[in-house]
Amino acid sequence: MSSTSPGLFITFEGIDGSGKSTQMALCAEALQAAGYSVISTRNPGGTDFGLELRQILLHSKGAVFPMSELLLFIADRAQHMDEVVFPALQVGQIVLCDRHIDSTLAYQGYGRGLPLSTIQDLNTIALQGHPPDLTLLFDGEPEHLAQRVNRRGPADRMEGEKAEFHQRVREGFLAVAKENTERVRVLNALDSMEALHVQVMRIVLALLNE
């Protein structure tokens, strides 16, 4: 991809334990091996400012109320777009991002019960007219994926929520996918790592070749 061609913005989504981070790392490695310029990032936490917000969002020992939580995620997103995503796209890079707008709809909307219209309006402000070009959603039953999370060590604020919360989040992701069929591709998170990687690369390379 030349420095004069427009970049691509690809997000990796799913509930905790879905394997999205692993698949993003494999995708980045494969694209770089093929000669593409790739930047891997995450939301929240893709900037120094975002790292501080991530610590509050995931590890605060005090209460974080739903609307406060939402506004912190949006603040991180606005900073992230300006500092990381836009500059990379302007020079033709492929941006791979671990979580983005759909996580906020799923977790704070469907999970916490905040108004979806409010979240969509705030996301629109943060995005400044540039939503992801492609979203890969790794879907699976929360009880199965929770076993992976438990093997990773102590749970953060989101991971430690009750099973009912994670089920609502999963349903939220699937609802978003149903409403955005051109952008969101749903993959079975319980497939093998190798099989998922093949599917991911097939989808991503097809987009690059358009």
pLDDT tens, position by position, 61-82 = 788 899 999 999 999 999 999 9
Please give, one letter per residue, the 3-state secondary structure of 99-139: CCHHHHHHHHHHHCCCCHHHHHHHHHHHHCCCCCCEEEEEE
73 phi/psi in degrees, rounded to 5:
-60, -40
The third-level CATH classification (topology) of the domain covering 8-208 is: Rossmann fold (3.40.50)
pLDDT tens, position by position, 73-125 = 999 999 999 999 999 999 999 999 999 999 999 999 999 999 999 999 999 99
Per-residue pLDDT, 12: 98
Work out the angle at residue 181's Cα, subtended by the Cα atoms of residues 138 and 84, and round it to the nearest 5 degrees.
65
Q: What are the extents of the domains in the chain?
A: 8-208
Give the pair of three-digit tokens for residue 151: 């093997």
pTM of the model: 0.92
**Cβ distance 92 to 7 under 8 Å?**
yes
